[in-house]
Amino acid sequence: MNDDMEYVFSSVQVSKGDFFPIWSPSIDSLRSMMILPISFFFFLLGPSELSASLWPLLASLLTIILTFYIGRVLFDSKAGLVAAFLMAIFTLDIVFATQLVPSVPGMLFMTASMLLFLIAEKEKKKNKSKIYFVLSGVFIGLAYLAAELFFIMGFFFLSYFLWKRKFRKEYFLILAGFLIIFSIEAGFMYEKTGNPLHRLNVIHEAELTVETNTDPNYYPRVIFDFIDPSYSAHEGNLGIFVYLFIIASLFAAYKREWRIVFLSIFILIAMTYLQFGVMTSTFKPIAKWVRYLVIFSPAICLSIAYLFVKTTKTRSLLISILIISFIATLPYTVGAAGIYNSWVSDFREAYNYLKTLPERPIFTDSGSHGYITLYFEFKRPIDILEYSTLDQLKDSYVIIDGSSGVVSYPPMRNLLPEYARNPPSDWILLRVITGGQDFYDPKIYYVP
């Protein structure tokens, strides 16, 4: 089962009142700030493709608003509005805003933490600033509950301290805020499992065994290849933004504008960790995925907004530059969104065809099972081929080669029964799904 489907199935359980997934042995189900919000929308609207997308979409929209306020706190409303506009057209954020991955929700909590910290730094009333520092830490904790990677927020504070070159005792309140959330989770895990660090242990064991992308050339290729990007290889997701960010960082350094330089330092330090850091006690390199880069979106957009505002003397020139930026970004957004959509278009087409047929049992591989079940909104039972016998398939519909995993990944394909790899001659081919991914065509059979 893919990660997004793990979130879906766990959230369906929670929406029905079964909270076991939140302390289960599943790494994805343990991310409560993914499971609980998704289950809330499932409770209100029922499980569907739309309701499953609402949490990351809402998180993306709220992050745009928070980016505006950070720009206003650092500079003024104009800079905030430009930064918010850039966030709204930022390709990387757009393509992940409707995908069930923790990057965008975690980015929301990180951005909220940044804003609260910066407000606390400007607040003159000491007692009020203490509250903001604590809340900043609380939101780091919420980001941590969305995904463990968001401890990377610590690099933001490190960059700020390097800029200010001083450390206030009030900063310990940030740690206190984080520990409030961490302690709540640890207490919950202790009650349910007897181990307060259950989640961290599950994550560590999973990372030791799961195969992940550790290619050292991955980030350089993904970040800088925008001339002729291969969207299926995740290239082009940042489009022109990374180059504008580099120019903005150099411009800010030249102007000695440390309010922007410290954001550049944050991204540089954090990227160094993502490139060279480890994720386990055995020093296994940290997994490398383009979605991790989403967390830098607000800082990148704030930096570019500063560049645009400071180098344009008239409103008309600024608006023209923003329009040009939108036009220049559009091909990357269309290309990246198109490839991500193609990865699920086969499942969607299979569902659209199956729902026109007389209702019979449906069998498919484990890679397709979650998507087809979600498209049917959990209203029809879908069985998994890997756990089915040939006798069970009589008078049913069977999807063969339903997902890329069972086609291209031998360990998954080898789990399939022989009849699912080589359909018997008496099976009736009803439909071949074409036009999706290039290297396989799912087939729908009727088994008499």
Quick one: tokens of 156? 């933001």
Paired tokens of 167: 């450390």
Q: Name the pTM for this structure.
A: 0.93
Q: Calculate the CA 362 to chain-centre distance.
A: 30
- Report yes or no: 325 and 311 within 8 Å, Cβ to Cβ: no
C-alpha 385/C-alpha 212 separation (Å) is: 26
What backbone torsions phi and psi does residue 70 show, to the nearest 5 degrees? -65, -45
Rounded Cα gap, residues 302 and 240, in angstroms? 15
pLDDT at 300: 97
Find the farthest-apart pair of alpha carbons in the chain and give their distance in angstroms, rounded: 79
Q: Which two tokens stand for residue 442?
A: 């799912």
CA 391, CA 127: separation in Å to the nearest integer? 71
CA dihedral 253, 257, 259, 261 (to 10 degrees): 0
CA distances to 72, 76, 116, 119, 137 from 125, rounded to whole Å, are 20, 21, 14, 11, 19
Tokens at 275, concatenated: 């490139």
d(CA 1, CA 5): 6
- Amino acid found at 26: S
SS3 state at 97: coil
CA-CA distances (angstroms) from residue 3 to 66, 151, 236, 384, 401?
28, 21, 23, 17, 20
Phi-psi region of 10 (alpha: psi -120 to 50; beta: other; left: phi over 0): alpha
CA distances from 127 to 118, 140, 264 (A): 15, 21, 31
Give me Rg for the CA atoms of the chain.
Answer: 24
Residues near 204 by Cβ (< 8 Å), separated by ≥ 6?
Answer: 280, 281
Edge-to-edge strands of the sheet including 382-384? 382-384, 362-364, 396-400, 443-447, 428-432
Q: Sign of the C-alpha dihedral, residues 262, 273, 53, 145?
A: negative
pLDDT at res. 84: 98
Per-position pLDDT tens, the chain of length 448: 478 899 999 999 999 999 999 999 888 999 999 999 999 999 999 999 999 999 999 999 999 999 999 999 999 999 999 999 999 999 999 999 999 999 999 999 999 999 999 999 988 777 888 999 999 999 999 999 999 888 889 999 989 988 887 888 899 999 999 999 999 999 999 999 999 999 999 988 888 887 788 889 999 999 998 888 998 888 988 989 999 999 999 999 999 999 999 999 999 999 999 999 988 888 888 989 999 999 999 999 999 999 999 999 899 999 999 999 999 999 999 999 888 888 888 889 999 999 999 999 999 998 899 999 999 999 998 999 999 999 999 999 999 988 877 887 787 888 899 998 889 999 999 999 886 665 678 999 999 9
The Cα angle at residue 141 between residues 137 and 238, in degrees rounded to 5: 95
- H-helix or E-strand spanning residue 119: helix 103-122
d(CA 438, CA 369): 21
Task: Of 370, 419, 301, give the one whose Cα is nearest residue 49.
Answer: 370
Return the HEC string of 299-368.
HHHHHHHHHHHHHCCCHHHHHHHHHHHHHHHHHHHHHHHHHHHHHHHHHHHHHHHHCCCCCCCEEECHHH
> Hey, what long-range contacts does 425-430 have (CB within 8 A, 24 or more apart)?
427/398, 430/353, 430/357, 430/397
Q: Count the neighbouring beta carbons within 10 Å of the beta carbon of residue 48.
A: 18
Question: To 10 degrees, what angle do helices 103-122 and 154-164 make?
Answer: 30
